[in-house]
Structure 1
Amino acid sequence: MNPQAGTPPPPLGVYLHLPWCVQKCPYCDFNSHAPARADRRADASTLPAIPHERYTRAVLTDLASAAGPLQGRRVETVFIGGGTPSLFPPEAIGGLLEALDRRLGLTGDAEITLEANPGTVEQGRFHGYRAAGVNRLSIGVQSFDAGALRRLGRIHGPEEARRAVRAARRAGFRRINLDLMYALPGQTTAQALADVEAALALAPEHISHYQLTLEPGTPFHSRPPADLPDEARLLALEAACRERLAAAGLTRYEVSAWAHPGEACRHNLNYWRFGDYLGLGAGAHGKLSDPARDEIRREARVRMPGTYMAQAGTPAAIAELRRLQNGDIVLEFMMNALRLAEGFHRDDWRRHTGRPTTLFEDRVAEAVTDGLLSDDGGRIRPTQRGWQLLDGLLQRFL
């Protein structure tokens, strides 16, 4: 008997990708694009011109094409990422959310997150985003050190970040995440802690605290910045910041995510718990389950915005469509679940995948013996050592 038959599909989220930035940061490997030179305005105090109306129409066409098989599954979370989504006017964001509600239906308590840049121009839009239905902001601060921000290629300064948070509060945002990097070029433990203190002073509900990594294909990868921390300094930085964040009452519920009680990002939790999500926009990825067919598939849209706008809603806009086999499912499930402090329960595996746990039990047992996982018979969790060696731990499930 098909072990998934008759069971409901997992929770559904939607990821909307808006791919433009004022300029591309040298560490960023996301699908983001600076506007064409002809579209950049000479006055640096204004936003660059981007084809937001045409792009919004393309996303709506994409949604209309994709929504059919998802009827009856209401959307629990929406994440609007990029790029810099706050380059889009509130009216465009509102139109996208209205279409999602009309086509699929948003739950009454849907979490709707928008990524925002601390630049002063965008702050005036926060009231509009809130009125459009956005109820959570993720602000890309990265650092409160002016020199570090310049080396990272950021276009804002520390005070702009502080003003952005205050403006978001005035606009009515009760849930705010701050993105914060550590292991920056030349960064000392004291400097990393100073960034954490500056973030805590703004009282965000959530902090994403993650290591600067040199991703293939980025300028930082081809020309690494000088004085990156070695492993000993990296561990010292991470430990000191971890201790301070915990002392402030935040809980580390995922490798790089800290939250006050009840403030974990529900959209990201859905990823890590192997939930479903529809990806719309240039380069957007999605993962969708069909229990009736005993099928889990991954899909990705074409990456280039111009190509996406021309092809949205047609088969040509789907750059990748892959039906996961058992080995794929084991690896992808573990890549997500073992990022979480809670790990996963064997019942979660069976419910979300419809597969037997025998597919991974021997490798879990080996990792428990090596001190990388704990296993109480039902729930499997990463240890602190397992988190520190997460890449190696995941290799065991290839």
Structure 2
Amino acid sequence: MCSPWDSVTEAHLAAALAVDKGNEAALVSWSFRASPDTFGHQRIAEVKYTLEGHESDVTYSVKCVGRGAGADECHALLFEKEYGFYEELAPAINTLLQETGQRSLRIPRCFTHARTETYEVMVLEDLTTRGFRAVDRRFGIDQAHATVAIQELARLHAASCLLQKRTEDKPLAQTYPFVGKEWTKAYKRGSESYEDILLKHVDLGVAMLEATSSRTRDITWLKEIRPKVWQMFLRQLESEEPFAVVCHGDGWSSNILFRYDSMDTPVEAIFVDLQQVRLASPATDIHALMAPNLTSSVRLQEHHSMMVAYLNTFRGVMEAGGAKIPFNLGSLESEYRDKTLYGFLSALIYIPLALQKGGGRIHPLSEEAGALIKDKEQVLEAVKKDRDMVPLLVGLLDEGEKFGLLA
């Protein structure tokens, strides 16, 4: 059986090169670099080219997925979302931001996209060439990283809010249908649905707590919500004005790259893998950033300052566009509390991924992720060695209890 990667050709890289370097650039050769990525849909292409008599090198991030009979319909939808964002929504948002004297969103450039009945290819900017790099997700992110990241989320959310105000007679989901398509409802790998994934992670959470703690109430609560967790999750994705914005949808640390100053302080954050963009409450994105990536102490101690940083950035974008912010800190905090379950479930899915041997990148949508659930004993053994994992889970439960999560 042919791999979708067999469909990536010189023509795709040449098209990206022409957009990136100009039509005079001539591709000499290209090859895929060995990549640590285990998601299966992204590789780095190394390209040699000539321009004005000089030979140079450039690298691109290439994504590829199969289409048609037997292909993964969920990943086809994720591609539709990501390319739709780059091709349609981001240009509209950036035009609006530029018209109001603001900088564009920090996102990768998408140089080319090709789609046939059997495959789909995207060629994107390799952000490492601009000095952006990922953090080691085994250690989470600190307050400095979280703050620049939450400010970038606020810019996306506020800009989408401004865009909606410009076209109040037509909802964004009509103009950009892909943002209204919920990928978790379309997810299917074999006979497994996303509901099945949630159930397995609830079971794994119970097993982790039973093996390492005596928190009977937490264990009982997890067992009680298990039969209804899918419907509870879907309700968390429902949003109403003024809390209905375009969200990134997948803010765990592997999807955020940072650029640093000479003192190694993070000064810019850029979100990648915009394949789960959706219309939802901004609180879901804030939770997805804070719950899986921050330790309990950082999340609690710096919560107020980060929420204020978010609100101030959101307000700045709105006011530059001649509009008022549609909520205040009090109502945002209330919305954040209402979406606590979403943050907990996000963490419940991503926390075990940090237990992978050697810190390898395994995404819950990849085929390899199944091994994490199938071999529960292996995960529990890793939990015993990594004492930071269960306290992170317990901290989320303690925080959730304050917001009525365990009621």
Structure 1 or 2: more helix by fraction: 2
What TM-score results when the alignment is normalised by the length of structure 2? Answer: 0.27
